[in-house]
Amino acid sequence: MGTTTMGVKLDDATRERIKSAASRIDRTPHWLIKQAIFNYLEKLENDETLPELPALLSGAANESDDASEPTEEPYQPFLEFAEQILPQSVSRAAITAAWRRPETDAVPMLLEQARLPQPLGEQAHKLAYQLAEKLRNQKTASGRAGMVQSLLQEFSLSSQEGVALMCLAEALLRIPDKATRDALIRDKISNGNWQSHIGRSPSLFVNAATWGLLFTGKLVSTHNETSLSRSLNRIIGKSGEPLIRKGVDMAMRLMGEQFVTGETIAEALANARKLEEKGFRYSYDMLGEAALTAADAQAYMVSYQQAIHAIGKASNGRGIYEGPGISIKLSALHPRYSRAQYDRVMEELYPRLKSLTLLARQYDIGINIDAEEADRLEISLDLLEKLCFEPELAGWNGIGFVIQAYQKRCPVCH
């Protein structure tokens, strides 16, 4: 595959002229520049007369007289990096161009796409209302699930308190040390308006939890205030926060369990069986962080292989649409998954991605490439493009790709 051989700096006006000219013929600026180079090169090779040559040749003659004087080449610090940039297709160039698109351009386009014809809009609103009403009125589940359901109904995600609880529910499951957990509890609980929720729920558990959160919020919010005595702060620091941490930790872990299907693939598959019988479909995500070492990457690779075998056997030939699938995180498969390590990613990470995809195809289960940080989208698309053109995967539609919906590039990724 060819690479860019020159880095040429152009002013904004020239760039706009090239972009405008390319759009008129439905091509990218990269294509237009490349064609111009080829046309000019062909004329030179055929000894055709060019109006620019006389001036250039006379300048070259003058330079030969001063050949004894050494000339210093201008230093271009980013030239080597620029030479690694690969030519882009029309669709890929559109994605790159949308990365930092002004909001004044992006928002009107999204608003236009979000508008539905009036009959269809009314139909969607009616269906959404019916679903919400049915969920609100259905009998509350019993046991631990019922308590969490009532708590979530009271503290909705549209409120500051609900968002704080959701942050805690997810984050506390991942934080191993006490100091960081205490800091997170102080941050998320101390500013909540918990008084407004007292007595509003018919659930004794929710009201008790609200009083606890109110008391906890008052307790931790005074941690750095000078209005109370230092002795009270010492009491909070030595005995209050461990007690708070334990109580909030237990409540949040109880909530977190409602959003994690299982701690292992086998447990998740077993827990999902009842809902699958009702028509629900699952794509299993192996929760974890990015690999920091080669050993981490190898461990994640083995975990993904084991998960694909387990999910594939559970799918039992139902196919990519009717059966379960798996989501994989590319940053878990290589410790240096970044643009600066492009060659290593293609040489070391890609074979692992291909191996997992081929294994998923053996079982005919879907495999999704999970979303990464925004600056990794381009390299993720390079891996996806290479994977989709593998002869061994021709005709198979089981490859999926996840992108953050809030990115400005998302609307052109199709």
Asked if residue 120 is part of any domain, the answer here is no
Instruction: State the number of CA atoms in the 13 A half-sphere of 39 facing the CB.
Output: 7
Q: Is residue 114 part of a domain?
A: no
| Three-state SS at 325 | strand
- Collapsing DSSP to helix, strand or coil, 340 comes out as helix
Inside any domain, residue 134: no
**DSSP strand pairing (399-401 vs 283-285):** unpaired
How far apart are alpha carbons 222 and 131 in whole angstroms? 42
Same domain membership, residue 182 and residue 211: yes
- Per-range mean pLDDT, top range of 193-202, 319-328, 403-412: 319-328
pLDDT (0 to 100) of residue 238: 45
CA 199 to chain CA mean position, Å: 39
Q: Are residues 375 and 406 in the same domain?
A: yes
Q: What is the CATH number for 388?
A: 3.20.20.220
**Judgement on whether residues 229 and 291 belong to the same structural domain of the protein:** no
- What distance in Å separates the CA atoms of residue 278 and residue 276, rounded to the nearest whole number? 5
Residues 337-393 have pLDDT tens digits of 998 899 999 999 999 999 999 999 999 999 999 988 889 999 999 999 999 999 999
Are residues 249 and 154 part of one domain?
yes
Half-sphere CA count of 195, side-chain side, radius 13 A: 2
In a domain, 243, yes or no: yes
The pLDDT tens digits of the residues spanning 234-267 come to 434 444 556 555 556 666 666 566 667 777 888 8
Tens digit of each residue's pLDDT (9 = 90 or more) over 18-45: 888 878 887 777 777 777 777 777 777 7
Q: CB–CB of 284/307 below 8 Å?
A: yes
Query: Which three-class secondary structure state does DSSP give residue 318?
Result: coil
Structural domain contains residue 128: no
Q: What is the dihedral of CA 36, 41, 43, 45, to 10 degrees?
A: -170
b/e 240-266 (16+ beta carbons within 10 angstroms → b): bbeebbebbbebbeebbbeebbeeebe
For the chain, the first-to-last Cα distance in angstroms comes to 24
CA distance 354 to 346: 11
Looking up tokens 């308006």 gives: 193
Distance, in Å, from the CA atom of 122 to the CA atom of 129, rounded to the nearest integer, reads 11
- Whether 24 and 152 map to the same domain: the answer is no
Range of the domain at 37: 1-65+76-87
Q: State phi, psi for 130 to the nearest 5 degrees.
A: -65, -40
Q: Which helix (H) or strand (E) element contains residue 400?
A: strand 399-401
Q: Residues 269, 273, 275, 281: what is their CA dihedral angle, to the nearest 10 degrees? A: 50
Beta pairing partners, 400: 368
pLDDT at 218: 44
- pLDDT bin (cut points 50, 70, 90) of residue 289 is confident
pLDDT in the model for residue 221: 46
Strand segments, DSSP code E, in 133-231 are none
Same structural domain for residues 269 and 400? yes
Copy the structure tokens of residue 266.
């086998």
Smallest Cα–Cα separation from 185: which of 235, 246, 260?
Answer: 246
Yes or no: say if 101 and 408 are a contact pair by the CB < 8 Å rule: yes
Same domain flag for 284 and 385: yes
Task: Note whether 8 and 51 are same-domain residues.
Answer: yes
Q: Number of C-alpha atoms within 13 angstroms, CB side, residue 334?
A: 20
pLDDT confidence tier of residue 400, bands split at 50, 70 and 90: very high
269 and 251 in a common domain = no
212 within domain boundaries: yes
Q: Which residues of 9-23 are buried (b: 16+ CB within 10 A; e: fewer)?
A: eeeeeeeeebeeebe
Q: Are residues 176 and 272 in the same domain?
A: no
Of the chain, the percentage scoring pLDDT greater than 90 comes to 28
In the prediction, which pLDDT does 385 show? Answer: 92
Per-residue pLDDT band for 106 (boundaries 50, 70, 90) equals: confident
DSSP structural state of residue 199: T
Whether residue 121 lies inside any domain: the answer is no
179 shares its domain with 197? yes
Assigned domain for 110 exists: no
- Of 256, 279, 308, the residue that ends a domain is 256
Collapsing DSSP to helix, strand or coil, 284 comes out as: strand
What is the rounded distance in angstroms from the CA atom of residue 350 to the CA atom of residue 176?
Answer: 32
Q: Which residues pair with 399 in a beta bridge?
A: 367
Domain count across the chain: 3
Q: Indicate whether 205 and 330 sit together in one domain.
A: no
Residue 140, number of CB atoms within 10 A of its CB: 12
**Secondary structure class of 395 (helix, strand, coil):** coil
Highest mean pLDDT of the ranges 87-96, 184-193, 243-252, 256-265: 87-96
Angle between helices 241-256 and 143-154 (to 10 degrees): 100
Cβ-proximal residues to 204 (8 Å cutoff; 6+ apart), any chain: none
